[in-house]
Structure 1
Amino acid sequence: MYPIITTMKTNLLLLLSFFLIISCKDSTSEKEKEKKITNSEDYNNFLAIQKARSTSPYFELWNSKITSDSVELPSFTAVAGQYNMFFESTGDIAYLKKAEQALEKAVEVANLDKEKYYRSLSRNYISQHRFKEALVYADSAAELSKNIPATQHLLFDVHMELGNYSKADSIKKLFADPEDFNYIIRASKWNDYKGKLDMTIMFMERAKEKAEASKNRGQLLWVYSNIADYYGHDGRIKDSYEHYLKTLEIDSSNAYAKKGIAWIAFSKDNNSAEAERILDSVLTGHVSPDYYLLKAEIAEFENDKKAKKTAMASFWELANNPAYGNMYNTYKIEALVEDPATKKEALALAEKEISNRATPETYQLLALANLVNGNKEKALEIINAHVVDKTFEPTALLTMAKIYKANMMPDMVKDLKNELIEASYEMGPVKLKEIHAL
């Protein structure tokens, strides 16, 4: 009798244990689902292969009006605007260069409202990272229209790109209007530069309210995609994801938003395969060098040396196109410093980039290039003079930590390491390994 009761008790305990294990597994599974941010069902429809826009009836109409001796301004500006759209859609630098040519012709033939064409050409040069040339045309516009807000907005943007922050701040005060969308987004940019993320997001959320109230498509696209980035910086990954989706609801082909979702899949959800799938779908219709860098980073994380080599080869094939000019200098420097065989090339390019725009971000690249070339004292001198307390970007902080470590400053390294670990999502799993190795 006793053995039977004991067996029954044992079986009952085993049964309870089984259900407990199943329950725990289900609970763990549910928790894992809750932790995941991306859900392919949210965006699969946006990944369908779409033919990139590279023409339109509007473009054909105005382009047909342009001849070798044409002086018809509306044709040049309309065609330039369409070329800009094609560039955004395809990533093909040839379209941005064609827009430049059309705008240069408009500047040449314009007699009235010439400042408008100066502004348009200046913005084209900003897109090409030709910032000093952009400033020349922005100043030319200012000579003709000193008090026009559009010119002031342009001057602020150019001076921020050049690292002329005091000048940018003084210009910003000229068009300060807490109810104006164009002021609000620049106030956000200013606070981002100052490292005040909470204020940056506050202004961006105010800009979002304005854009949603006006239902302005261009403003909505800009706000949703940019606020998604800032939410990511702030650790609000779900909010970031939702705003990338909002961007795609307006523009289903928006490559920037898709890249943002791919980053979330990779850095937050630890789903390299999904990130790759998203990137591959983008690259069927939109080709930009930086997308291959992300593919290379994913391959490195997966320890797939062959895939990384292939992705980097694609990056260099595109980025070395002379038409890009300085547009990918920072990406090139970051790639060149990784290989001892190209470290001198990295230093030369970093020095060139400083002459193009002397910002804390470009100085940290110069410091990093000096570090890998064995100039650790010079690297320390550069960051102390041009980077410390002048930028709060995690990439710059990592460079600072590396330089402090090389110069035997462990307390400084420790402080930065703690801060960098908090930015692990923004830095990604590959950089996180570097951070832990500090």
Structure 2
Amino acid sequence: MKYLFTILTFVLLQSCTTTTNDKITNSEDYDQYLQSVAPKTTSKYFDLWNSKIKPDSIQLTSFGIVASQYDAYFKATGEIDYLKKSEQALEKAVEIAAIGRSGYRRSLARNYISQHRFKEALVQAEAALEIGAGLKETQSLLFDVHMELGNYDLAKTYLDSIKTGSSFDFLIRAAKWNDCKGDLTSTINYMEQAKNLAEKTYSKPLILWAYTNLADYYGHAGRIKESYAFYLKSLELDQQNAYAKKGIAWIVFSYENNPQEALRILDSVTKNHHSPDYYLLKAEIASFMGNQKEQSINLDEYIIRTKNPKFGDMYNAYNIDLYLNETGQLDKALELAKREVENRPTPESYNFLAYSYFKLNNKKEALTIIEKYVEGKTFEPGVLINVAEIYKANGYKAKSNALKQELMGALYELGPSMKSKIESL
């Protein structure tokens, strides 16, 4: 369900020319989970520990517990204030900790990762490594950070360092590594092992994490029935899981060609979960339907929310795509793409830079960037469709046609709005 790079490509497909796949979803399966309930963002237990925190507090345990709870509230609501409050508590914990410092630094690094502050996360991870306690946990963290920064050789070194045994931490990262390398068979194999291990632990967070990720990977592999089944299993564990509902909405939209039902599902999510990207997905679906009013409402909601400076760089990729494909603010897209490359020099970020130059009619510079930083380094369909377009514009018809064939097989991931664009390559 990789729609990050496809959002807001407003191409309408006529229903008479759209192939509808066999229906695999049933609203009776998930309707019971669409009764949106506002998540709890406080408790007596939380209030007790939160009350212990004062401006001059040295209640270290309080900071750790409160930070964890704020992080949970952020995941449940999508409200950035909770993530920032978690950051404040963790920074204070790092400042005053005499023992357990490596653990607090790892937690702070993960908070920074959530905020797309990857270089700052690396500082904290390396500090935790120097302290030494919790070595395997720190090595796992360093794998995550270096993957986000595009330092794949270093990431592989840290993956190898946690390879002994078949721990959950190793298996999920081995899955991520193989997905990055385009080996989906191995990716699913590792993720299925992680799922089996999580079920044996009886840890709800681990099981839920395994189910939703496995559902995603099954979707990438075209195993839509299995993908749907695991999103449902996720909802059995957590009835308000917004990510699983979004996954089902994507199946309904992209596989079953039922945008109205997809919007109904997402409307139930955004009543109480307010991550800006949900509104972009709703805008994409509304555009596909030709519903300009609904599209505009959701675009406005996205723009209003992401103007909050607390989001920092979290929505750079979405905003670049918005500037390139909807608002036509090409210079602004280029500026932001350069910033994203500085923050996160991955093939995906360089793709945005190349495509910004391409849209500004500098197709030679776009090709140079693709050949140096993107070609052969990523298998993301949302990237490859831009690469194919740049190849075609530079006269590389054979390369463009080869990617075109590959992209037709990735239409489920890209979404039905992209079909005509692929066909025109």
CA–CA distance in structure 1, aligned partners of residues 103 and 272 of structure 2: 32
CA distance in 1, matches of 2:408, 2:254: 13
2:304 to 313, 317, 328: 317
Answer with 1 or 2: which has the greater Rg.
1
Give the drift of 1:33: 11
Using a 3 Å threshold, how does the CA distance of structure 1 residues 361 and 202 change in structure 2: closer, same or farther?
Answer: same
Q: Would you say 1:327 and 2:309 are equivalent positions?
A: no
Q: Is the 8 A contact 2:36 2:240 kept in 1?
A: no
**What amino acid is aligned across from residue 318 of structure 2 in structure 1?**
Y
Q: 1:385 to 1:194 in 2, by over 3 A?
A: same
Matched, 1:177 2:164: yes
Matches within 5 A, 1:182-197: 182-197=169-184
Partner of 1:40: 27
1:167 maps onto 2:160 in alignment: no
Question: What stretches of structure 2 of length at least 5 have no aligned partner?
Answer: 1-18
**1:186-240 alpha-carbon deviations (Å, 9 max, x no partner):** 1111111111000000000010110111121111111100111100000001101
Which deviations, in whole Å up to 9, do the C-alpha atoms of 1:228-265 show, x marking residues without a partner? 11000000011011111111111111101111111011
Deviates more, 1:36-45 or 1:142-151: 142-151
Q: Tell me, in whole angstroms, the C-alpha distance in 1 between the residues paired with 2:357 and 2:25.
A: 39
TM-score (norm 2): 0.94
- Whole-Å separation in 2 of the counterparts to 1:339 and 1:260: 24
Instruction: Tell me, in whole angstroms, the C-alpha distance in 2 between the residues paired with 1:298 and 1:254.
Output: 21
**Which of 218, 232, 236 is the equivalent residue of 2:223?**
236
Contact 1:178 1:184 in 2 (8 A): no
Distance in 1 between residues matched to 2:243 and 2:306, nearest whole Å: 18
Question: What residue number does 2:384 align with?
Answer: 397
What is the match of residue 239 of structure 2? 252
CA contact (8 A) 2:276 2:305 kept: yes
* Superposed displacement of residue 302, structure 1: 1.1
The amino acid that maps onto 1:191 is: N
Distance 2:300 2:73 in 1: 25
Q: SS at the partner of 1:338?
A: helix
Q: Partner of 1:113 in structure 2? A: 100
More displaced, 121-130 or 210-219?
210-219
Aligned residue among 81, 104, 113 for 1:94: 81
* Alignment-derived partner of residue 17 in structure 1: none
Contact 2:78 2:274 in 1 (8 A): yes
Q: For residues 356-404 of structure 1, what are the alpha-carbon distances to aligned partners after superposition, in whole Å with 9 as ceiling and x for unaligned?
A: 0100111111111111011100100111111111000101110101101
Structure 2 CA distance for aligned equivalents of residues 413 and 255 of structure 1: 37
Distance 1:147 1:253 in 2: 33
SS of the counterpart of 2:325?
A: coil
Q: Percent identity?
A: 52
Verify: 1:387 aligned to 2:354, yes or no: no
Q: Is the 8 A contact 2:204 2:237 kept in 1?
A: yes
Distance 1:33 1:400, change over 3 A: closer
Provide the C-alpha distance between the structure 2 equivalents of 1:223 and 1:187, rounded to a whole number of angstroms: 13
Distance 1:293 1:340, change over 3 A: closer
CA distance in 2 between partners of 1:165 and 1:305 (Å): 42
Give the whole-Å Cα distance in 2 for the aligned partners of 1:417 and 1:207.
Answer: 34
CA deviations on 1:100-158 (whole Å, 9 max, x unpaired) are 00001101111112111111111100010000000000010000017710111111110
3-state SS of 2:376 partner: coil
Root-mean-square deviation (CA, aligned residues, Å) is 1.4
Q: How do residues 14-413 of structure 1 correspond to structure 2 at under 5 angstroms?
A: 35-145=22-132, 148-339=135-326, 341-413=328-400
Q: Is the 8 A contact 1:59 1:79 kept in 2?
A: yes
Runs of 4+ in 1 over 4 A off after TM superposition: none
| Structure showing greater relative contact order (alpha-carbon pairs closer than 8 Å, 6 or more residues apart) | 2
Residue 421 of structure 1, aligned match among 408, 417, 421: 408
TM-score (norm 1): 0.91
CA distance in 2, matches of 1:212, 1:394: 32
- CA–CA distance in structure 2, aligned partners of residues 305 and 196 of structure 1: 39
Q: 1:34 to 1:392 in 2, by over 3 A?
A: closer
**Residue correspondences, number:** 407
Residue 432 of structure 1: aligned partner: 419
**Aligned partner letter, 1:428:** G
Question: In terms of mean alpha carbon deviation, does 51-60 or 193-202 score higher?
Answer: 51-60
What is the Cα deviation at residue 37 of structure 1? 1.7
Instruction: Give the Å deviation of 1:278.
Output: 0.5
